């Protein structure tokens, strides 16, 4: 004998199924990661460093006058200690940039000379590249030197992104009038970073790609920096290896250690 479900029960089940479907659709269309500005800025500031890090990378510089390639080795400890050393070419081997808290030095092993870099020169070119001294040793951080906000959240060019706009704080020792980053919502890896001067003109663009998962973070292994006024020029940093959480002491970041590395 067939059984019949009362109409009221069927309607109730239909309403329940409809609510469940709506909830599932809501989850499916919600961004993969809900995140605050503070957490996003903290993540970006530490993406290539962590508490400690060691990296091997290649820097390729292309200008209208020359093209050169350098092999670099770099270490970092927190936000206050970093060291970048040129390993190749041989003629430049041992040239280094060291950051210890607020102090930054360049070391030239051939003449055994140490030069302290004043804050006024942090925006200067590092070894003839389009990267600055500040880019290499991270004297400035979004967390400390900029007031940031999420200026766009959604899909752009078929990709779910966060757009982060950073305005320098009044006393911050930075040269940019504004920095705008596009960040992938799923991986939190940066896509582009655009740097504007105080007049609002675009000065340079950095593009990030070749993203790899290292531990629990997605790290772009290639950074391409292009000046706006020289569209045929660029500097590319490609990471061959990067390791986080390496055992390293503060004493490693010293002028004495630089001299011992000659």
Q: Considering the domain boundaries, does residue 175 fall inside one?
A: yes
Q: Considering the domain boundaries, does residue 31 fall inside one?
A: no
Q: Considering the domain boundaries, does residue 4 fall inside one?
A: no
> How many domains does the chain divide into?
1
- Whether the pLDDT of residue 52 is over 60: the answer is yes
Q: Considering the domain boundaries, does residue 18 fall inside one?
A: no
User: Residue 221: its pLDDT value, please?
Assistant: 98
137 phi, psi to nearest 5 deg: -110, 0
- Whether the pLDDT of residue 5 is over 70: the answer is no
What's the CATH code of the domain at 59?
2.50.20.10
> CB–CB of 56/240 below 8 Å?
yes
Q: Considering the domain boundaries, does residue 26 fall inside one?
A: no
Tell me the whole-structure pTM to 2 decimals.
0.83
65 — pLDDT class (breaks 50, 70, 90)? very high
246 — pLDDT class (breaks 50, 70, 90)? very high
Positive or negative, the Cα torsion across 147, 153, 155, 159? positive
- Whether the pLDDT of residue 4 is over 60: the answer is no
User: Residue 14: its pLDDT value, please?
Assistant: 43
Range of the domain at 81: 37-260
The string of pLDDT tens digits covering residues 113-171 is 999 998 888 888 999 999 998 888 776 889 999 999 999 999 999 999 999 999 999 98
Q: Considering the domain boundaries, does residue 19 fall inside one?
A: no
User: Residue 262: its pLDDT value, please?
Assistant: 60
- Whether the pLDDT of residue 64 is over 60: the answer is yes
42 — pLDDT class (breaks 50, 70, 90)? very high
Average pLDDT over the chain reads: 87
d(CA 98, CA 104): 6
d(CA 194, CA 200): 11
Nearest to 58 by CA among 241, 237, 242: 237
What's the burial of 102, exposed, middle or buried (CB within 10 Å: 0-12/13-18/19+)? Answer: exposed
What's the burial of 67, exposed, middle or buried (CB within 10 Å: 0-12/13-18/19+)? Answer: exposed
Q: Considering the domain boundaries, does residue 7 fall inside one?
A: no
| Residue of higher predicted confidence among 245 and 17 | 245
Place of tokens 């292009």: 226
d(CA 229, CA 11): 66
Tell me whether strands 146-156 and 81-88 are parallel, antiparallel or unpaired: unpaired
User: Residue 150: its pLDDT value, please?
Assistant: 97
Residues 6 or more apart whose CB falls under 8 angstroms from that of 167 comprise: 146, 147, 148, 177, 178
- Whether the pLDDT of residue 254 is over 70: the answer is yes
26 — pLDDT class (breaks 50, 70, 90)? very low
User: Residue 67: its pLDDT value, please?
Assistant: 96
Mean pLDDT computed over 34-40? 89
Mean pLDDT computed over 192-206? 98
Q: Considering the domain boundaries, does residue 22 fall inside one?
A: no
């Amino acid at each position: 004998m067939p059984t019949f479900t009362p109409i009221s029960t069927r309607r109730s089940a239909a309403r329940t199924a409809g609510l469940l479907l709506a909830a599932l659709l809501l989850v499916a269309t919600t961004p993969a990661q809900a995140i605050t500005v503070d957490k996003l800025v903290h993540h970006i500031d530490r993406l290539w460093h962590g508490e400690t890090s060691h990296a091997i990378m290649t820097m390729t510089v292309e200008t209208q006058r020359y093209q050169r390639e350098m092999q670099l080795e770099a270490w970092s400890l927190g936000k206050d200690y970093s060291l970048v050393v040129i390993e190749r070419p041989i003629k430049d081997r041992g040239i280094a940039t060291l950051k210890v808290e607020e102090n930054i030095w360049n070391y030239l092993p051939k003449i055994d000379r140490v030069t302290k870099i004043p804050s006024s020169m942090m925006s200067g070119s590092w070894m003839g590249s389009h990267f600055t001294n500040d880019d290499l040793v991270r004297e400035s951080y979004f967390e400390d030197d900029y007031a940031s906000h999420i200026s766009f959240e959604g899909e752009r060019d078929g990709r779910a992104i966060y757009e982060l706009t950073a305005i320098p704080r009044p006393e911050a020792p930075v040269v940019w009038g504004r920095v705008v980053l596009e960040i992938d919502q799923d991986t939190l890896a940066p896509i582009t970073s655009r740097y504007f001067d105080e007049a609002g003109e675009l000065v340079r663009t950095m593009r990030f790609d070749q993203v790899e998962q290292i531990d629990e973070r997605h790290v772009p292994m290639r950074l391409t920096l292009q000046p706006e006024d020289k569209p045929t020029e660029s500097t590319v940093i490609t990471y061959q290896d990067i390791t986080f959480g390496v055992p390293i002491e503060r004493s490693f970041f010293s002028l004495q250690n630089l001299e011992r590395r000659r």
